[in-house]
Amino acid sequence: MAIFICCNLYLGKLNLSLKNKLLFSVFVYFIILTLLSLGFWQIYRLNWKLELIEQIENSLKNDPVELTSIEKKNYLRIKTSGEIDFDKQIYLYNLNDAGKPGFEVINPIKIGDENYLMNRGWIPFEKKDLPEINLVDQNQIVGTLMLQTKPSTFKPENDIEKNYWFTLNREDISKFTGRNFSEYVIYLNGDYKIPKPRVITAKISNNHKKYAITWFSMAISILLIYLYFRKKNY
């Protein structure tokens, strides 16, 4: 947008005294080609993102596979069994789908020789620490693997003593549990009511079409202004 405004201002101030019209034309065409290149780059990114979304959707439709017998990857549906640690249960502040604040319940779970964090779903504040939220079959766990994202630097610090968390900071989790965990988090699937498991979908930001239209529009606008200026002054 800044390029577009500058070019408009520049074109508006030019007059017939410009000696090197060829140099000016080269400059304008360079700007236009740059904008077109950015537009085509966004088209490339759009196609890549659509393919990625399709792959994720197909992965989420697959039957779950045994966790210990396959290579781990993002959005992989798995089935397993393990030892859930309810004593080191983590309450992660978050909103539910309706925008109501509450906690996501996170548990350490040992599967074979590896430790994972398992997100069992959302509860309202008043359900915190109640026994009814810990009714889960440890021998028949079905879930989705998700690569743990980096915590936001704009969120408050975790209150470990009160077990009130804002991010899954790995250093804080290690202090709280005394263990290190896989980089993958298991998101529990199933018809549980409390906690209510998160529905995993392929909702990935995809604004590349909008960006491409913006770049192409700027290129066309600058070209039309340049042609008008050239007709009037050349």
Query: 107: how many CB neighbours lie within 10 A of its CB?
Result: 23
Which among 131, 130, 129, 134 is positioned nearest to 188, based on CA atoms?
Answer: 134
SS3 117: strand
Decide: 132 and 118 in contact? Cβ < 8 Å: no
The tokens for 145 are: 């693997």
Sign of the dihedral defined by the CA atoms of residues 190, 193, 196, 202, in that order: positive
**Dist. CA 110–CA 102, nearest whole Å:** 26
Listed by start position, the domains of the chain span 2-54+207-233, 76-188
Report DSSP state, residue 96: -
What angle do helix axes 208-233 and 2-13 make, rounded to 10 degrees? 0
Query: 136: how many CB neighbours lie within 10 A of its CB?
Result: 19
pLDDT band, residue 57 (cuts 50/70/90): confident
pLDDT band, residue 230 (cuts 50/70/90): confident
pTM: 0.72
End-to-end CA distance of the chain: 27
Decide: 67 and 80 in contact? Cβ < 8 Å: yes
Predicted confidence at residue 9, as pLDDT, reads: 47
Predicted confidence at residue 53, as pLDDT, reads: 84
SS3 207: coil
**Dist. CA 121–CA 197, nearest whole Å:** 4
Predicted confidence at residue 233, as pLDDT, reads: 67
Percent pLDDT > 90 in the chain is 52
Per-residue model confidence as pLDDT tens digits over 135-192: 888 888 999 999 888 877 888 899 999 999 999 999 999 999 999 999 999 999 988 8
Span 40-69, average pLDDT:
87
pLDDT(213) > 60:
yes
Distance of CA 196 to the CA centre of its chain: 21
Predicted confidence at residue 6, as pLDDT, reads: 52
